[in-house]
Structure 1
Amino acid sequence: MPGGSTRPHRGRRPRRSAGAQAARNELVSQSLESAQQCLVNRDYGTAFAHYLLVLSLAPALKDFVKESFRFTLFKWADVLGSLSRIQDLFDCYEQALELFPDDEVILNSMGEHLFRMGFKDEAAGHFYKALKLKPDFTEAKENFYRVANWLVERWHFLMLNDKKRNMKYQQAIQKAVKAGCDTVLDIGTGTGLLSMFAKKAGASKVYACELSKTMYELACEVVSANEMEGEIDVMHIKSLDMEIPKHIPSRVSLVVTETVDAGLFGEGIVESLVHAWKHLLLPSQGQMGCSGQVGRVIPAMATVFGMAVECPEIRRHHRVGVQQVGGVCLEGAVCLHGPVNYNSDDGDSEEPYTTERMSRVPGGYTPLSEPFQVMTVNFNKPEELEGLCCQKPYRITVPVSKSGIFDAIISWFVLHLDEETSLSTGPEEETCWEQAVYPVRNSPLNKSEYLVQPKDSFIVEVSCQDAYLRIGSISFIKEGPQTNVDNAGTSEAELCSALASLQTTQARTPQPPCILESSEIALLNNLHYHDGFKRALGKLVSSLSARCESQGRTLDANSSRDCGKSQTEQRSSVTPDPLYVLDVSEGFSVLSLIAAKLGRVKAYSSVEKEQHQTALKILAEANGVSREMLQFWMSHLEEDTAILQRPTTDKLWSAVILDCVETSGLIREELLEKAALARCLLEPGGRIFPERIVMYGMLVDSYVLLQESAVQGPEPTLGLRVAPYINRFTVPVHIFVDLTTLPSVHLSQPVELFSLDLMYPGSNCRSREVTVRVCAPGRVTAVPFWYDVHLDDEICSSTLAKDSHWKQAAALLNEPIQVREGDRVVLCVCHHKSSISITARRQETGDPGGAFL
């Protein structure tokens, strides 16, 4: 009979199923018991394997074991991570997500591991999925905001909000397409804006490539939202890897790109265009074939300019200008260099410049020379581009036009999009670009070497190496020639004569070099900060020493009665133990040396870099600190997680110095957890430094902060819909803000927003409402905030101080609040782990609000 063989044997199956089910249930029960026992024994790997077996045999138990399974997964992942078994770690998470694909906690945890391993795109995807499953999931939200700063850098928002820049690019692209360049390749497309300009101009086919996975996916969304899907081919690929016909069918007639940074070449525009001319673009005008078709590039050319400046802010971030800090003498012991003004001989290809928006640099700047032309590059001449990196360095002699302290050469460029349209990134322009800053090379503390006057000149050496424009080997000619000397107009003999008479800024003594970050140099230059620590630590050492002596006198008296010895004899036979001080500051810190110089103190430093340890050893020797009294704590530890453990098995710390605030203006991650552990390891009377952090803020109206944080609708992007998609990566807290130069209107006086007590945390709270009185009319767009860092009841440092190495942060409101003078705004300030969130509402009549300050 048709289908007869498929009929079930209903009388026999229950007996077989019952036996199999019983065995299955027994195995599940035994595996659950084994998993629990393994957890007791901290055998997380075996416990995880048992849970996998349980869930594969009995999926119905998912809800029952979910919490235990999560706990086991996270513990086992930590073990695998510590053993560097990265593939096994991610395999475990993949297995967990197969069982719990919609578990936001597991998704978030895997994202955290991915982020730590450097897989930022993938981490963002997991955080985003977790938030879609649970929009109010705080940890996932904070993680997504953190990774968003990496994936979509803040300059994207500034660039897209630069309507002038967008209009000029649109005009140049329209002109080129109308002239016959109807196949276009957009290199480094970002959000796809330039590609869409080309398509709207009438290009028959547009290709776009983007290396960042996040930006590629974003460009695909933007192109689709603007109804150009299928007309613009967006590819997730580096342009250097593109081939014909694999990726595009034939050579294109126009390449558009804006892969330029403040130093012009830093994003690899030369390399990408050399490759494009060879493999992707029609021949140039000089290489035109029989077909008569010509390829071209937008931008067509660039001219780089430079200028010498005096700028105290640049100086304090790139040169150590103090002879001693906190009683520690720095002069003559070791050469401390900034990361961009030290030419290493190990082939290091770090950026030779930093960047600043010179129009907003604190304290301003003074030009010491007229702007001078550094170089011109023609992007439409392939042979010129190919020879650029092979070109020998050349020198330019520039006259000084004003007396002052020579701190840096700043550079900018004019981007010639075509013969008629150009963009300038100069310091006086309203532009989305910053300027490149080449600080002068470091030297001993001899300020006269940096003093220049109008009769002087300086020589710079220009080259294009490692895809960077380098302006280095800065040298001075005192009372030398005052005419601009270019490479073509100066003989070798004249240059040798000039170089023989110049005074250089290079160090004259063979001191071992130590490379510091600019924020670390600014910290060393902060006398108030280090003197505060010296006084606070000194008070603690005196207090603990006095108590120890008092206890010693009591012990001596008791011992003398028991042993028949005099107190003087007893005291002379006892050597008091030292006090133990631990400095766990991030990066280079001399606080351990300051502590060690206070007398009976054995100081431990947590600096990790070998050159930093060497520098501290040399400074210790120069300051009379014996080798035994300065230890490097990381070399004593097998795991970083044990950083706050006891100095010895029978000793406790007298003081623990915590680094509480990041340079960016945020509280450091896991600060409260570290403080809690440190409190448990303090001897009676011991202290945590700082003991308390007080957060202050104010209401401001700042359109600049809005522009730096989100695209302001379709107008700046010339009607194209970009804002809704890139603004998903808007973060609620803007970092590295300099409130002293931020263009803004202050709508209130500073108020205390929050306080974190690290010594006595009982008074800490997770949230607080503060009512702020408005003192000027406007729109509240943001709440910038900063901290007073209290070492004790009398000594504190402010992260808003003029000599601070810290920047500030600002919480942006979801919607600006229109206010009048006399209004009150209620701020809800929440602290979760290391994150601060601030929301605001205008206080209505009858609303009591929160604490009024």
Structure 2
Amino acid sequence: MPNASARPKHSRRTRRRRREDPARNELVSSSLESAQQCLFNQDYGTAFVHYLLVLNLAPVFKDFARESFRFTLFKWAEELDSVGRIQDLFSCYEQALELFPADEVILNSMGEHLFRMGFRDEAAGHFHKALKLRPDYPEARENFYRVANWLVERWHFLMLNDRGRNQKYQQAIQKAVQSGCNTVLDIGTGTGILGMCAKKAGAAEVYACELSKTMYELACEVVTANGMEGSIKILHMKSLEMEVPKDIPHRVSLVVTETVDAGLFGEGIIESLVHAWHHLLLPPQRGENEFSEQSATGRVIPAGATVFGMAVECVEIRRHHRLCVSEVGGLSMAATGELRSPVSCSSEPDDSMEPYTTERLSRLPGGYKPLTEAFKALNIDFNNLQELEGLSSREVQQICLPIIQEGELDALAVWFQLHLDEESSLSTGPQEDTCWEQAIYPFSLVALGFVLQPGDKLIIEISCRDAYLRLCSVAVLREGHEIRLDRHPDAQSSGNASKNPNPEAELCNALACLQTGQNQTKDFCMLECSEMALLNNLDYHQSFCSALGKLVSRLKVKCQKQEQRPDLTDPASSTNCTDPLYVLDVSEGFSLLSLIAASQGNVKAYSSVEKDKQQEVLKRIARSNNISEQHLEFWLNHMEDEQGMLKRPSQEKLWSAIILDCVETCGLIRQKLMEKASLARCLLEEGGHIFPERIVVHGMLVESDILLLESAVQGQEPTLGFNIAPFINQFTVPVHVFLDFSTLECRHLSEPVELFVLDLMDANTNYTNREVKVQATSAGRITAVPFWYHIYLDQEISVSTLSQNSHWKQAAAVLQQPLEVRVGDWVHLAVRLHKSTISISAHVDSSPVQMMQ
């Protein structure tokens, strides 16, 4: 029998109690008291240091001090932000998260700072962590949805839902691997799908790289879930930074990539492939053709591309890139000078301008008119290093295109055919059902009214001087005369005078139509595309002009009555009607509303326009419209505090009107709108007004498959046999923004209905929840509720974000699961407002479905 008295070898010993340290306890106690005193004195920086000391020395106080610590952190961070101490700000947050790594409020707040400073990738990570810790945290959810729209763009879902595209890529990769390319690098892996295709096809080694931290982490999750964690090495870095053998052990025989944008080269595919051929890929087989299947060679999928283009007339493109009106809100626009959008189709590289923007031509409101046949602009072979390296130094190519129908030249539209190998290709053409949009090269130097006619020939220049594809319309040939479009008329008319001393009247008229402007230098003012579209919106500005005029007239009449009959018992009630009315415009970006207010007479208007060149434009317009400089003031240049926008103009005077910017261009209510409205109401004089006074949200039940395809990976079947949907669908955003409802592919299942009302003038009439009943007028599946706004400036005057000329887009709340309805069914919508976020749940009888804005 064993010796019962013997001590077991692994017996648990009694843990000794930690000795109390009186000096430590005294330090903790005094520091905690100091922290609270500093907090009371609003000395947030010192309070933060004391709290750090206390919580590091005595973690037992974490629960007790959490709320005070958070408050101190946020206040101190605001101070650091206001003085530009960004590194210190993030250092404080890092120290806070060391103490409270699972605090969703601190994570969300740090994410907000990151997002404001442009670090969207990092911000998304913090919002995502906050939501995992607390799924019902509305602030983190709203922030995550906003940033997810930037990080995981809707084309990711369209691409994964595009079976034809996926199968073509899979077949090309399988064919290459089976022909001997058994070491593979996937550049810009995204979800990891192309790398997994290579591994499934039998590749011995697969590597992948991804620059986006969000997509890198997503790819790692996807690869692990598909049992390939040890088979595919994913690197969080640019391919340009990769080296052999530091990052991968040796050169690979196949590079697969889809780092192409609508303009083909915009994501840097040329630079990455040149680097890959020099440092990461086996050399190509000499003497073989571009699609060589020799196992000892390196090759690229896609193998190459062909770029196509055509000239188009399109009013929607025009109004976003050119000033199309001569008068706005009663103001002459003759003195604006040269206004440009940030997109300039020019053969000369310009760091301040983008060479192209993107649009889906098939969805543009009002459509487009082809002015030329489609032409071939460029061929590129991705398996030819010499051709890739020589792309930027290619001579400028000039082609001459016959005009096929009459119209104004607004842009060149560009698309391409991507050759995966010798058998398979993908097209991004305007008639194709594809996840790509088309590249748009808008043209702004041709004046309005200059019409191209059949018989004319358009001269186009094509270049790739900085590895961007650049197309530019430089001239029109008409009856033997050349009308230059790439230079100012003064220069060209002097040059042409000797050649054509007596040009035909038609040519003279064409030249006269071209943009002149008093200043022929390169000095110009840049407006965002949405700002240009707003400037071209006559109805919007006329509505404001009318509403402001009514308010000014009413206040002047009121002032005159008070001046005639002052309250003798109250000397302060006497008024002086010679004093100006004060109007504040807090619109985002470039706005004419302050100038329209100043034009009403005896009004001093304050503009929130901050950019120097934009202020100069407003001053020029003011002078040309006989508005005194004393009636217009720019006062936000030196404001450090966002709330400072709504401070009084003086101690004695309150605002007669405050103009708030309520709706973002993308179609969402602006964040913190109701808080700003609450503050604005306190700063109005008696009888003063907030513009707009009320916003009514309207919506409609629709069935739209395209919204489903753009919102999440659909169906139960794995994508090419891989389990991807659960991971990418974490980034599903239940609201689609920048939507053109007029061209959305959908079936209307109801009439429009009022969903919600926001009253900016009377807080007592607002609510946070509303039940709305909508009757189905057609049978089908409700997949979404598109919504838009009627913005009431006063009781009678309103503007709609659904207007054809609106600079606003619409948005749509998308159902996670479609809801079947029959004609006559009543659909119950429960609408709830939390800050600026509207959430909607829908049900027919007892079938609830969740949606959210």
Task: Confirm or deny a common fold (TM above 0.5).
Answer: yes
1:341 is aligned to 2:344:
yes
Shift of 1:114: 2.3
User: Structure 1: which amino acid aligns with 2:60?
Assistant: A
User: Matched residue of 1:181: which SS?
Assistant: coil
Give per-residue Cα distances to partners, 1:504-526, cap 9 Å, x unaligned.
Answer: 78633343521111111111111
Deviation at 1:423, TM superposition (A): 0.9
Q: Secondary structure at the match of 1:756?
A: strand
Q: Which amino acid aligns with 1:478?
A: R
The amino acid of 1:616's aligned partner reads L
In the TM superposition, residue 226 of structure 1 has moved relative to its aligned partner by: 1.5
* Maintained 8 Å contact 2:361/2:367: yes
Corresponding residue for residue 542 of structure 1:
553
Check 1:756–1:384 CA distance in 2 against 1; reply closer, same or farther (3 A cut). Answer: same
TM-fit CA distance, 1:480: 5.0
Q: 1:166 to 1:499 in 2, by over 3 A?
A: farther
Is 1:515 the equivalent of 2:509?
no
Instruction: Tell me the CA shift for residue 57 of structure 1.
Output: 4.0
Q: Does the CA-based 8 Å contact 1:398-1:459 persist in structure 2? A: yes
| Residues 725 and 844 (structure 1), Cα distance of their counterparts in 2 relative to 1, 3 Å cut | closer
CA 1:497–1:838: 2 relative to 1, 3 Å: farther
Cα offset, 1:652, TM superposition: 1.1
**2:743 alignment partner, SS class:** coil
Q: Which amino acid aligns with 2:423?
A: E
Change (3 A) 1:340 1:331: same
CA distance in 2, matches of 1:135, 1:714: 25
Q: Could you tell me whether the CA contact under 8 Å between 1:714 and 1:722 is conserved in 2? A: no
Structure 2 SS opposite 1:649? coil
Q: Is the 8 A contact 1:455 1:480 kept in 2?
A: no
Residues 734 and 225 of structure 1: is their aligned pair in 2 closer, same or farther, counting only changes over 3 Å?
Answer: same
**Mapping of 1:768-783 within 5 angstroms?**
768-783=770-785
8 Å contact 2:344–2:353 — kept in the other structure? no
Structure 1 unaligned spans of 5+? 1-9, 483-494, 563-569
CA contact (8 A) 1:656 1:689 kept: yes
Range that drifts further, 697-706 or 332-341: 332-341
Aligned length: 806
Q: Indicate the residue corresponding to 2:393 in structure 1.
A: 390
In the aligned structure 2, how far is the partner of 1:210 from the partner of 1:293? 27
Does the Cα contact within 8 Å between 1:593 and 1:620 map onto a contact in 2?
Answer: yes
| 1:590-631, Cα deviation, whole Å (9 max, x unpaired) | 111111111011111101111111111111111111111111
Query: Residues of 2 paired with 1:315 and 1:241: CA distance?
Result: 41
1:551, CA displacement in angstroms? 2.1
Partner of 1:608: 610
Cα separation, partners in 2 of 1:716 and 1:448, compared to 1, 3 Å? farther
Q: State the distance in 1 between where 2:496 and 2:516 align.
A: 20
Residue of structure 2 in register with 1:116 after alignment: 116
Q: RMSD of the TM alignment (CA)?
A: 2.9
Match of 2:629 among 624, 627, 630: 627
Deviations 1:765-817 (CA, angstroms, capped at 9, x unpaired): 11212121111111111111100000000000010111111111111112211
Cα distance between partner residues in 2 of 1:233 and 1:368: 49
In the alignment, which residue of structure 2 is the partner of 1:244? 244
Name 1:554's counterpart in structure 2.
Answer: 565
> Could you give the per-residue CA deviations for residues 395-454 of structure 1, whole angstroms, max 9, x where no partner exists?
1110001112222111111111111111111111111111111112235xx4332x1111
The 5 Å alignment of 1:175-254 reads 175-254=175-254
* Structure-2 residue corresponding to 1:5: none
Q: Which residue of 2 aligns with 1:135?
A: 135
CA distance in 1, matches of 2:198, 2:99: 47
Q: Secondary structure of 2:591's partner? A: coil
In the alignment, the residues of structure 1 paired with residue 499 and residue 430 of structure 2 have an alpha-carbon distance, to the nearest angstrom, of 31
Structure 1 pair 726/440, CA: closer, same or farther in 2 (3 Å)? same
Could you say which residue in structure 1 is the equivalent of 2:64?
Answer: 64
1:634/1:640 contact within 8 Å kept? no
Q: Which runs of 5+ in 2 are unaligned?
A: 1-13, 483-494
Amino acid at match of 2:668: L
* Structure-2 separation of matches of 1:363 and 1:736: 16
Amino acid at match of 1:542: S
TM-score for both structures, normalised by structure 2 = 0.90
For the residues of structure 1 that align with 2:56 and 2:312, how far apart are their CA atoms? 69
Instruction: Tell me how far apart the structure 2 counterparts of residues 140 and 319 of structure 1 sit (CA, whole Å).
Output: 39
Change (3 A) 1:414 1:835: same
Q: Deviations over 1:180-239 (max 9, x none)?
A: 222111111111111111112222211111111111111111112122222222111111
SS at match of 1:123: helix
The question of whether the paired residues in 1 share the 8 Å contact of 2:255 and 2:299 is answered with yes
CA deviation vs aligned residue, 1:54-91 (integer Å, no higher than 9, x gap): 33343323222222121111111111221222222222
Task: Quote how far apart the aligned CAs of 1:342 are.
Answer: 6.6
Distance 1:201 1:350 in 2: 43
| Aligned counterpart, 2:369 | 366
Residue 577 of structure 1 pairs with residue 588 of structure 2:
no
2:391 and 2:467 in contact (8 A); partners too: no
Q: Which residue, 786, 789, 792 being the options, matches 2:791?
A: 789
The question of whether the paired residues in 1 share the 8 Å contact of 2:335 and 2:620 is answered with: no
> What is the match of residue 448 of structure 1?
449
- SS of 2:813's equivalent? strand
Aligned AA for 1:410? A
Q: Distance in 1 between matches of 2:662 and 2:844?
A: 32
Contact (CA 8 Å) 1:823, 1:843: kept in 2 or not? no
Aligned-pair distance for 1:343? 5.3
Q: Which residue of 2 aligns with 1:567?
A: none
- Determine the C-alpha separation between the residues in 2 that align with 1:576 and 1:253: 82
Secondary structure at 1:186's aligned position in 2?
strand
The answer to whether the 8 Å contact 1:166/1:716 transfers is no
Shift of 1:380: 1.3
State the distance in 2 between where 1:337 and 1:453 align.
Answer: 26
Judging changes above 3 Å, is the alpha-carbon distance between structure 1 residues 37 and 545 closer, same or farther for their aligned structure 2 residues? Answer: same
* Residue in 2 that maps onto 1:318: 321
For 2:731 and 2:116, the matched residues in 1 are separated by: 19
* 3-state SS, counterpart of residue 750 of structure 2: coil
Give the match for residue 7 of structure 1.
none
1:438 maps to a residue whose letter is: Y
Distance in 2 (CA, whole Å) between partners of 1:173 and 1:836 is 45
